[in-house]
Amino acid sequence: MAIVGLISLMMFGLVFGGPSVLDRVLPESALVWIEENDSLGLFGDGTDMVSFTTEASNGDDPASHLHDGKDGWRASDKVAAMPGNSAVFLRDVMSGRRKSRGASPAAVEVIRPMTGCSFTPPTAGAFVGHVSAWGSNNMALGLSTYGDAELAAAVRGFGKVYRETGLRQVPGLSGLTFDAFDVAVTETGKPVYLVLQGRGGNRLWALHLAPGAQLERVVLLGGNQAGVAHLPDGVPVEVMREDEMAACGLPGPAYPLNPGALLFQSLEAGVLDQEEASATLAMIDAKVQDYDRWFRSAFGVSALETMAGNWDGGSVAVVGPVPAAPEARAVWHPVTQARAWITADTYVEYDALTEKGVDFRARVLAIAESFAWGDLKNLRQGVEF
């Protein structure tokens, strides 16, 4: 009876207030229940909870929640990545998880990338966890960083629109925000050495530890900017972004193609002949082996054997085994309660920091007004910048 009442309340909220109204009217326990039991995906992304978005994803097998597409593997938010491109139901490895879309950290500290090219190696008894991610499913945060180049581009865009329409339309922060990716650490028998590999963009790795899990060190690799949230006190962080990796002459991340990749589809369709495909695959394999050799020399384990994720779409990866009991699962915590440690450009923007008049929009308008001698109307007369 209680479940029937809950479903009725949810449907009422959806009809009269849209999916996001559920966050305002339901207790946390009910929201978590929806997250873990919405097998039809009725409450989707609008609830800011785990969504159910991929094809053929209604089975009891976690693998059925993976879609093998031309751009790579895409995963339903019902599952988390394990090593070997395998999947596990999220409910079996993490408790209480909700999506962090639009959330802003409670505080932010800026960290600097490494100045050298060698990482502190794991200790002999450490468990090395390795997560790779292209992006996350709808997990853009209310956290961004940008510099003068981005401001200049936004001012040019603003000026063009204003001259043509008279509208004070400032370009948004698209491409400058961090997205979140959740990492469930379930290994409790050994200290965990985490290697988190980003693939472009700005990524904030949100760590969620099972009771008894301990971190030895966190290494952030790749991406334009990188950061970590929920970092336990005293755990050191080493960061090397894409630019620093290239400057050190290190190979970029490379992993084997998924079976449904565009190359294989093109070969099957006759768009690509066997000779061309073989040459491309040989080149990819050489890059994969080169990266694996470097990874093994740096961290003592194979990138191929330890990697969890590398999905084109997904938002959670697991470091460690699937817990045998519910109380051993990783415990999810919201980004809003976290201190984030990030690399940054000139400016950092997030809710707790941003004051009226000093955000991205205000900076763009101030620069535009300075070019227009204090009056934007002058931009209508052909001022170029």
Query: What is the β-pairing status of strands 94-95 and 330-331?
Result: parallel
**pLDDT interval class at 16 (50, 70, 90):** very low
- When comparing pLDDT for 384 and 187, which is higher? 187
Q: What is the pLDDT of residue 190?
A: 98
**Mean of all residue pLDDT scores within the chain:** 84
pLDDT in tens, 292-302: 999 999 999 99
pLDDT in tens, 167-216: 888 888 888 999 999 999 999 999 999 999 998 899 999 999 999 999 99
- When comparing pLDDT for 10 and 77, which is higher? 77
Mean pLDDT on 160-173: 85
Which residues have a Cβ under 8 Å from the Cβ of 282 and sit 6 or more positions away? none
Residue 56 has pLDDT above 80, yes or no: no
- Contact yes or no for 331/209 (Cβ under 8 A): yes
CA geometry: angle 23, 109, 120, nearest 5 deg: 115
Residue 309 has pLDDT above 80, yes or no: yes
- When comparing pLDDT for 385 and 152, which is higher? 152
Mean pLDDT on 105-121: 95
Mean pLDDT on 295-311: 95
CA 253 to chain centre: 16
**pLDDT interval class at 101 (50, 70, 90):** confident
Q: What is the pLDDT of residue 381?
A: 57
Residue 10 has pLDDT above 70, yes or no: no
How many angstroms separate the CA atoms of 188 and 314, rounded?
24
State the pTM of this model: 0.83
Q: At residue 377, what is the residue type?
A: K
pLDDT in tens, 31-50: 455 554 544 444 443 333 33
Q: What is the pLDDT of residue 28?
A: 47
How many angstroms separate the CA atoms of 284 and 264, rounded?
13
Residue 133: beta bridge partners? 198
Residue 54 has pLDDT above 50, yes or no: no
Q: What is the pLDDT of residue 18?
A: 36
Q: What is the pLDDT of residue 99?
A: 83
Q: What is the pLDDT of residue 13?
A: 42
Query: Which residue, among 316, 331, 295, 145, has the nearest Cα to 224 in the 3D structure?
Result: 145
Mean pLDDT on 341-365: 87
Q: What is the pLDDT of residue 162?
A: 86
Q: What is the pLDDT of residue 145?
A: 96
Residue 223 has pLDDT above 90, yes or no: yes
- When comparing pLDDT for 3 and 240, which is higher? 240
Q: What is the DSSP string of 268-287?
A: HHTSS-HHHHHHHHHHHHHH
Burial 315-349 (b: 16+ CB within 10 A, else e): bbbbbbeebeeeebbbbbbbbeebebbbbbbebbb
Most confident range, picked from 134-143, 171-180, 263-272, 284-293: 284-293
Q: What is the pLDDT of residue 373?
A: 76
Residue 348 has pLDDT above 70, yes or no: yes
